[in-house]
Amino acid sequence: MAVRCVVAAVDGSPESLRAVDRAADEAALRRVPLRLVHACLWERYERDTPDEDEPLSVRAEVRQLLATAQARAAARRPEVVTATEVVPEDPVPALLGLGGLAPLLVLGHRGRGGFEGLLLGSIGLKVAARADYPVMVVRGEAPAPGSRVGEVGRVVLAVGDETPGGAVTEFAVEEARLRGADLDLVHAWQRDSLLSGTSVLMTSAGPADIAAQVLAEVGLPDTTGLTVRRRAVRGRAAAVLLDAAAEADLVVLGAHPRHRHGGLQLGSVAHAVLHHAPCPVAVVPGP
């Protein structure tokens, strides 16, 4: 899918700085610009005040944290063109309003003021659930460039009962190709589950066979040069995906808008993966 820029949400927390690292890597891989964004409602009220050089000014603090993030990105990926921006809005509407940039948004898994038990902040969850562009939530440490020479990475594409849409599969294939990684399509099944809308009790095929058929029906764009595996695993979906994530560089989830009811696009399985995965998780909106 066409990503025209990478955006990192910056709030000064250690998690957001790790997101800057990952965003810089993604921008370098895709050869697109990097934009570092801070959403600050107070900027709207300070815009015309004369105290921007005052050490305690919100504006001065924001300018400093963006400068720190920009220096970090430049040190990590000096070839990437990087810009900074302060959006005078609350974080959720500010980030959701970035859709016109055709971005990949990179978020830390927890922001400033987060509690240890809240493994994904409410802002990140709301944005990941509602954005009309891909959102990557960074979990774990982003390896430094060149630190994994000779190793083959692994991208996991979660396949649920609904077949992933074109944008979701395109993103997963692109990530695998850009990183020189293998691509694993993972689908969980249970003996008493409904698969692809078909009751196991109403067919002579066994659940494992139905799960294999679900995976076989996932269409992928051109995968020339990629190693692709399709794995049907018995177990609860969240547990299966978290187990797959343990050895993955990235997990890709599809989000399905609930046009009739509004609200969040993500189900309980996606929530579990976003909260507990040991690696970055990308949420990509589907049809």
Give the residue, 189 or 45, on which the prediction is more confident: 189
The per-residue pLDDT for 15 is: 86
The per-residue pLDDT for 119 is: 40
Give the residue, 199 or 286, on which the prediction is more confident: 286
The answer to whether 152 and 182 have CB atoms below 8 angstroms apart is yes
| Phi, psi at 147, each rounded to 5° | -80, -10
pLDDT at 45 > cutoff 80? no
> What is the number of residues in the chain?
287
Instruction: State mean pLDDT over 173-177.
Output: 95
pLDDT at 139 > cutoff 90? no
The predicted-structure confidence for 198-249, as pLDDT tens digits, reads as follows 444 445 567 888 888 889 989 999 999 999 999 999 999 999 999 999 989 9
Nearest to 158 by CA among 247, 283, 2: 283
pLDDT at 279 > cutoff 80? yes
- Kindly report which listed range (156-160, 217-221, 261-265) carries the lowest average pLDDT score: 261-265
Sorted by where each starts, the structural domains of the chain and their CATH numbers stand as: 5-138 (3.40.50.620), 154-285 (3.40.50.620)
Q: Please enumerate in sequence order all residues whose Cβ is within 8 A of that of 31, keeping only pairs 6 or more positions apart, or say none.
A: none
The per-residue pLDDT for 144 is: 56
The predicted-structure confidence for 73-99, as pLDDT tens digits, reads as follows 999 999 999 999 998 888 889 999 999
Instruction: State mean pLDDT over 6-15.
Output: 90
Q: Among residues of the chain, what percentage have pLDDT more than 90?
A: 53
Mean pLDDT of the chain: 82
Which position has the token pair 């801070």? 38
pTM: 0.85
pLDDT at 275 > cutoff 50? yes
**One-letter amino acid identity for 30?**
R
